[in-house]
Amino acid sequence: MLMAHNKFHEPVLAAEIVALLVKTPGIYVDGTLGGGGHSRAILSALFDAGYSEGSLLIGIDQDDAALRQATGNLSEYEGLTVLVKGNFLGIGSIVKKVCSQKGLQPKVAGILLDLGVSSFQIDSAERGFSYLRPGPLDMRMDTDASLNAADIVNNYGEQELARLFYRYGEEPRSRSIARAIVLYRQKNGPVMGTEELAGIIRTNAHGGEKVIKTLSRVFQALRIEVNSELDVLRQALYDGIDSLDDHGRMAVISYHSLEDRIVKTVFAEKVRSDWGPKGVGLREPLHRGSVIAVTRKQVVAALQEIESNPRARSAKLRVIEKIPQGGHSEFR
Ligand SMILES: C[S@@+](CC[C@H](N)C(=O)[O-])C[C@H]1O[C@@H](n2cnc3c(N)ncnc32)[C@H](O)[C@@H]1O
Question: Which protein residue has the closest C-alpha to ligand 1 atom 2?
Answer: 118
Query: How many whole angstroms from 285 Cα to the centroid of ligand 1?
Result: 38
Asked if 187 and 90 sit in the same domain, the reply is no
Task: Decide if 127 is inside a domain.
Answer: no
For ligand 1, say whether the CB of 10 is within 6 Å of any of its atoms: no
Query: How many whole angstroms from 33 Cα to the centroid of ligand 1?
Result: 5
As a whole number, mean pLDDT of residues 169-176 equals 95
Q: Which of 168, 196, 226 is the last residue of a domain?
A: 226
Asked if 221 and 300 sit in the same domain, the reply is no
Mean pLDDT value across the chain: 92
Query: How many whole angstroms from 279 Cα to the centroid of ligand 1?
Result: 47
Q: Which of 209, 226, 243 is the last residue of a domain?
A: 226
Select from 47, 38, 259 the least CA-distant residue to 59: 38
Q: Which ligand 1 atom sits nearest the alpha carbon of residue 6?
A: 9
Which amino acid is located at 278 in the chain?
Answer: K
For ligand 1, say whether the CB of 3 is within 6 Å of any of its atoms: no
Asked if 67 and 111 sit in the same domain, the reply is yes
- pLDDT greater at residue 253 or residue 274: 253
pTM: 0.93
Edge-to-edge strands, sheet with 108-114: 81-85, 56-61, 27-30, 108-114, 244-254, 316-322, 291-293
Range name among 39-48, 61-70, 280-289 with the lowest pLDDT average: 280-289
Asked if 260 and 213 sit in the same domain, the reply is no
- pLDDT greater at residue 66 or residue 284: 66
pLDDT band for position 331 (cuts 50, 70, 90): very low
Number of domains in the chain: 2
Question: Which protein residue has the closest C-alpha to ligand 1 atom 22?
Answer: 61
Question: Measured between alpha carbons, how far is 240 from 38 in angstroms, rounded to an integer?
Answer: 18
Q: Which ligand 1 atom sits nearest the alpha carbon of residue 86?
A: 21
Domain span holding position 281: 14-119+229-322
Task: Decide if 327 is inside a domain.
Answer: no
Please name the residue ranges forming H helices in the chain. Answer: 14-21, 37-48, 64-73, 91-102, 119-123, 149-155, 158-169, 174-188, 194-204, 209-226, 229-243, 257-271, 303-308
Provide the percentage of residues in the chain whose pLDDT is more than 90: 87
Q: Which ligand 1 atom sits nearest the alpha carbon of residue 69?
A: 9
Asked if 316 and 252 sit in the same domain, the reply is yes
Task: Decide if 140 is inside a domain.
Answer: no
Asked if 209 and 234 sit in the same domain, the reply is no
Asked if 113 and 237 sit in the same domain, the reply is yes
Query: How many whole angstroms from 36 Cα to the centroid of ligand 1?
Result: 9
pLDDT band for position 66 (cuts 50, 70, 90): very high
Query: How many whole angstroms from 189 Cα to the centroid of ligand 1?
Result: 34
Asked if the model's pLDDT at residue 307 lies above 70, the reply is yes
pLDDT band for position 326 (cuts 50, 70, 90): low
For ligand 1, say whether the CB of 116 is within 6 Å of any of its atoms: yes
Asked if 19 and 109 sit in the same domain, the reply is yes
pLDDT of residue 330: 44
Asked if 106 and 43 sit in the same domain, the reply is yes
For ligand 1, say whether the CB of 90 is within 6 Å of any of its atoms: no
Task: Decide if 55 is inside a domain.
Answer: yes
Task: Decide if 138 is inside a domain.
Answer: no
pLDDT band for position 6 (cuts 50, 70, 90): low
CATH code of the domain containing 201: 1.10.150.170
As a whole number, mean pLDDT of residues 62-70 equals 97
Task: Decide if 135 is inside a domain.
Answer: no
Q: Which of 226, 257, 274 is the last residue of a domain?
A: 226
For ligand 1, say whether the CB of 37 is within 6 Å of any of its atoms: yes
Question: Which protein residue has the closest C-alpha to ligand 1 atom 4?
Answer: 34
Query: How many whole angstroms from 29 Cα to the centroid of ligand 1?
Result: 12
Asked if 220 and 248 sit in the same domain, the reply is no
pLDDT of residue 204: 83
Asked if 235 and 221 sit in the same domain, the reply is no
Asked if 77 and 164 sit in the same domain, the reply is no
Phi-psi region of 101 (alpha: psi -120 to 50; beta: other; left: phi over 0): alpha
For ligand 1, say whether the CB of 92 is within 6 Å of any of its atoms: no
CATH code of the domain containing 112: 3.40.50.150
Task: Decide if 136 is inside a domain.
Answer: no
Task: Decide if 267 is inside a domain.
Answer: yes
